Chain A
Amino acid sequence: EAQVTQNPRYLITVTGKKLTVTCSQNMNHEYMSWYRQDPGLGLRQIYYSMNVEVTDKGDVPEGYKVSRKEKRNFPLILESPSPNQTSLYFCASSFLGQAGGEQFFGPGTRLTVL
């Protein structure tokens, strides 16, 4: 089954404790992206990647890191989480094309930072 998976789905942590949210897709998509979603603010892009070893900042990259060592995986790293990073996070992937492909979303990770 074609899908984007994220783990963990729910996470409660404390300020300053490093964490990683994994994202994996099995559709051979070149493009992968991380979003956070907060009430009233819609989906805001954190980082994206157009291919292996190619990553770029989105609209709200502060406090986050990513890596793209393999085509299928795109982990999101919070080196020192803070309460303002409490949010619902989505990973998404798509093919790259002239017009831009539709994005497929993972199930989401609900993160609470105390």
Chain B
Amino acid sequence: QKEVEQNSGPLSVPEGAIASLNCTYSDRGSQSFFWYRQYSGKSPELIMSIYSNGDKEDGRFTAQLNKASQYVSLLIRDSQPSDSATYLCAVNRADMRFGAGTRLTVKP
């Protein structure tokens, strides 16, 4: 089992729709969780961090964490073509572990 697993995608949604990205992790001791966005050939940039169970909202983005289920998700509301990128889930305990990423395409 991979330490951090994401839907491989690709995921395609129409402009204005909600994009839902999912991630599961294997280490129950993980303490911090991150979502990074990466455009092709560019470095990952942090878009959300979450540390406790529940939802965290930041603009059009909502991160959801369920430690009992070892699950973290990212919802993007009112998706825009500029949201088209690969989204990386990262989980940190003593060290950061990344998922392979989900490629999202938002079609105009």
Within 8 A of A (CB), among B90-108: 90, 92-96, 98-101
Given contact pairs A99-B92, A100-B92, A100-B93, A43 touches B44 in the complex (Cβ within 8 A): yes
Chain A nearest Cβ from B100, distance in angstroms:
4
Chain B nearest Cβ from A106, distance in angstroms:
6
Q: Is the CB of B43 within 8 A of A107?
A: yes
Closest residue of chain B to A59 (Cβ to Cβ) is: B97
Q: Is the CB of A42 within 8 A of B45?
A: no
Contacts of A108 in B (CB 8 A): 41-43
Closest residue of chain B to A40 (Cβ to Cβ) is: B100
Chain B nearest Cβ from A29, distance in angstroms:
13
A70-111 to B contact mask, C-beta < 8 Å, 1/0: 000000000000000000101010100011111111111010
A98 to B101, alpha carbons, bound, how many Å?
Answer: 26
Contacts of A107 in B (CB 8 A): 42-43
Q: Is the CB of B31 within 8 A of A48?
A: no
Asked if A45 CB lies within 8 Å of chain B CBs, one says yes
Asked if A24 CB lies within 8 Å of chain B CBs, one says no
A85 to B51, alpha carbons, bound, how many Å?
Answer: 35
Q: Is the CB of B96 within 8 A of A90?
A: no
Q: Is the CB of B95 within 8 A of A48?
A: yes
A to B CB contacts below 8 Å, 11 in the list:
A33-B96, A42-B88, A42-B101, A99-B92, A100-B32, A100-B92, A101-B92, A102-B49, A103-B46, A108-B41, A108-B42
